[in-house]
Chain A
Amino acid sequence: MEKTKLKNWLFGFMFTVILATSNAWSAQDEKNNPGFAWKDGAEIYAKICAYCHEAQVGPQIRNRDLPAAYIRAVVRNGNRAMPAFRPSEIDDESLVKLADFISKKEAQH
């Protein structure tokens, strides 16, 4: 009796393990993994903007007193060679943080 129980339990356990380790990604897996989200303005600046604006590809944009609203507009619309960035890439809330990061003087961070 005990043996059968153990066997059943083991089978159930193994089945769960197989499901969990297989590549059968399910809707449940999607819900358990929330995906990527930006931490703060500094991170967005470093991982996107700096590759051009700190590399003599695009103009310097920090410490220039650029108004936050202007920065937000350029990010969303692009400007000549600069590509536009969609809210799916930089969400509205993160864009506010990014514009804030760029427009503040370095000493203020």
Chain B
Amino acid sequence: MTSQYIALPKGVSEKNFDAAIRDFRKVLGDAAVLTSAEQLAPYIKTMMPVSDADHTPSAALLATTVEQIQKIVAICNQYKVPVWMISTGKNLGYGSAAPAERGQVVLDLKRMNRILEVDKDLAFALVEPGVTYQQLYDYIKEHKLGLWLSMPAPSAIAGPVGNTLDRGVGYTPYGEHFLFACGMEVVLANGEVLRTGMGSVPNSNTWQVFKWGYGPYLDGIFTQSNYGIVTKFGFWLMPEPPAFKPFVIQYQHEEDIVEIVETIRPLRISGVIPNAVVIAHALYEAPVKAKRSDYVSGPGSIPDEAVYRIMKDHKLGIWNVYAALYGTQEQIDVNWNIVTQAFTQSGKAKIMTEQEAGDDPAFAYRAKLMRGEMTLTEFSLYNWRGGGGSMWFAPVSQARGSETLKQMALTKQILAKYGLDYSGEFIVGMRDMHHIVDVLYDKTDPEQTKAAYQCFEELLTEFSARGYGTYRVNTAFMDKVAETYGPVQRNVHKILKKALDPNGILAPGKSGIR
């Protein structure tokens, strides 16, 4: 007998699934329960080097209210049907909108797109999961609120809830997004609605201004996890500064990253440079200006000699440090002196401001990201190899020069073994760096796709063998990364899962938790 569904949840009979779908339709209406291949097509495409069949959903549910979600979890518990929650559902290079496991029902919260509150004085927002950065940006402009967003590079089409819940980062002084989260509403697997922190106090007006509430701080367990469905999310916004000065500092040799990091760290920890600085390799910036095919053809990774030609032709450093100063003009002048003094000491750095580099397309999009303006220019990366293959390799590094050089060299060496290029950058926290490498490959080429998979696996294995952990990963490698954090943490995650979601209906497999 042919199934009327394109996939079924693991261990659920078609008869039971039918009954669940019937009940979902009663709650949401027919139009908001998608089951046909055509309707589910946009939930299937990923950039990962695995078969789409491994991540094909059985259905998608378009919920719009908390009450609906409470009813949905009741149905899921009854029929043991697992849901995979998405908000704006982009998560490109991390799994897109597809579920972790074949047959899971996507609970698509994109239509929950209400901006519930933006407070100009206290500079916070409370939004639903489907709100995009573009929507919030337009709202702030329209109401002249004088607040800035911090967002990841897929800005306009992504949103603050999904990005922060997956502990993503941006490029302004508020770039470590979860640091600026304040208060969540979460529908639990048993249907109860929890408001974290001060949100649990009836009639409290401090939900979005004081994070900790009373007792154990719970917000963290709802990030990168599957312990609840976040339906409202509060976070802090940056007041628009009177002045903003973006700049780029270029270096010509890969080993110079040691000097760069040693110079930046004290400036970053002391707050002279307040934002999440980026140290981007030439191959991360090159796609904005150059075509790979103009410099190299055939299989294999790009040779250093070609990279140097690209740098020369397109005015790039091998390292391009993008940072900015924020504040009054007087504050910026003082800090600019400190920055230039620090970077000019060795004579290796080329420092440029908007005056010298304002027309450069790489500088222009980086400046936008550092002031919370919408841009999707970073997607130029996807043109580098073409074919729509991308995975973010994201190990964490100390903000120490020798460490960043070691990580870069190891990454480059493993990528080259599989014929792939090092398109990497370091995003500077205060004491850490997110080492972000786009493992780009042509997904239409089966050989390259296979190589990309093996390469990614080796990167994770070799990095963890040296004590380097990964902070975020695509849905094909979540178990592998969870394994690198050891059995005790995995067990604690599992105990929490059993306690909060005994039937395992919420996103089984997320971060390796079942």
Q: Footprint of B on A, CB under 8 Å?
A: 18-19, 21-25, 27, 29-31, 33, 35-36, 47-48, 51-52, 55-58, 76-89
Q: Which of B108, B126, B202, B383 interacts with A81 by CB under 8 Å? A: B383
A29 to B232, CA, bound (A): 13
Complex contacts, A21 vs chain B, CB 8 Å: 205
Q: Which of A31, A48, A89: most chain B CB closer than 10 A?
A: A89
Known pairs A30-B66, A48-B157, A88-B89; A35 contacts B113 (CB<8 A): yes
> Is the Cβ of B203 less than 8 Å from the Cβ of A88?
no
Shortest Cβ distance from B441 into chain A, in angstroms? 12
Question: Count the B residues whose beta carbon is within 8 Å of the partner chain — how many?
Answer: 61
B72 to chain A, nearest CB (A): 15
A46 to B85, CA, bound (A): 28
A78 closest partner in B (C-beta): B45
Contact partner of B110 among A47, A77, A78, A88, CB < 8 A?
A88
The smallest beta-carbon distance between A20 and chain B, in angstroms, is 11
Q: Measuring CB to CB, which residues of chain B are less than 8 angstroms from any residue of chain A?
A: 34, 38-39, 41-45, 60, 62, 64-67, 88-90, 92, 96-97, 108, 110-117, 126, 128, 130-131, 134-135, 138, 156-157, 185, 199, 202-205, 207-208, 232, 374-377, 379-380, 382-383, 386-388, 390, 443-444
Asked if B111 and A29 make an inter-chain contact with CB atoms under 8 angstroms apart, the answer reads: no
A47→B138 CA distance, assembly (Å): 10
Point out the residue from A24, A29, A58, A77 that lies within 8 Å of B41, measured CB to CB: A77
- A19 to chain B: closest residue by CB: B203
Which 4 residue pairs across A and B have the least CB separation, nearest first?
A81-B382, A88-B110, A84-B42, A51-B376
B204 cross-chain contacts in A, Cβ below 8 A = 22-23
Contacts of B113 in A (CB 8 A): 35-36
CB–CB B108/A57 < 8 A: no
B203–A24 CB distance below 8 A: yes
A22-B205, A24-B202 as given contacts; A86 in contact with B110, CB under 8 Å = yes
Q: In the assembly, what is the distance between CA of A23 and CA of B127, in Å?
A: 12
* Extra inter-chain contacts (15) besides given A25-B126, A78-B388, A81-B390, CB under 8 Å: A24-B202, A27-B65, A30-B114, A33-B116, A35-B130, A36-B113, A36-B131, A47-B134, A51-B375, A55-B377, A56-B380, A57-B376, A76-B38, A77-B45, A88-B89
What residues on A are CB-neighbors of B34 within 8 Å?
A: 87
Q: With A and B bound together, what is the CA distance between A76 and B36 in angstroms?
A: 13
CB distance from A39 to the nearest CB of B (A): 11
Q: Are B96 and A83 in contact (CB under 8 A)?
A: yes
Given the known interface contacts A25-B232, A86-B43, A87-B39, the answer about A81 and B205 at a Cβ–Cβ threshold of 8 Å is no
Write out the residue numbers on chain B whose beta carbons fall within 8 Å of the beta carbon of A52.
376, 379
Q: How far is the CB of B49 from chain A (nearest CB, A)?
A: 14
Alpha-carbon gap, A56 to B287, bound state (A)? 11
Closest to A22 in B: B203
Instruction: Tell whether, in the assembled complex, residue A36 and residue B156 are in contact, meaning their CB atoms are under 8 Å apart.
Output: no
A77 contacts which chain B residues (CB < 8 A)?
A: 41-42, 45
How far, in whole Å, are A36 and B131 apart by their CA atoms in the complex? 8
Known: A80-B387, A81-B383. A51 touches B156 (CB 8 A): yes
- Given known contacts A51-B156, A51-B375, A89-B88, A23 and B386 CB-to-CB distance under 8 angstroms: no
Of the candidates A25, A47, A86, which one forms a contact with B116 in the assembled complex, judged by CB atoms under 8 Å apart? A25
Contacts of A48 in B (CB 8 A): 134, 156-157
* CA distance in complex: A51, B370 (Å): 17
Pick the residue among A22, A47, A58 that contacts B156 (CB under 8 A): A47
Chain A residue at minimal CB-CB distance from B98: A84
Q: Which of A21, A27, A58, A78 has the most CB of B within 10 A?
A: A78
Contact across chains for B377 and A57 when beta carbons are under 8 A apart: yes
Residues on the B chain within 8 Å of A80, using CB: 382, 386-388, 443-444
Q: A27-B67, A84-B42 are in contact. Are A36 and B376 (CB under 8 A)?
A: no
Q: Taking the nearest CB of chain A, how far is it from the CB of B130, in angstroms?
A: 7
In the complex, what residue of chain B is closest to A58 when comparing beta carbons? B379
**Chain A residues whose CB sits within 8 angstroms of the CB of B64 once the complex forms:** 30, 35
Q: Give Cα A36 to B287, complex, Å.
A: 34
Which of A25, A30, A78, A86 is in CB contact (< 8 Å) with B89? Answer: A86
* Residue numbers in A under 8 Å from B97 (CB-CB): 84, 86
Q: Would you give 6 A-B contacts (Cβ < 8 Å), ordered by A? A: A58-B379, A78-B388, A83-B90, A84-B97, A86-B43, A87-B42
> Closest A-chain residue to B106, C-beta based?
A86
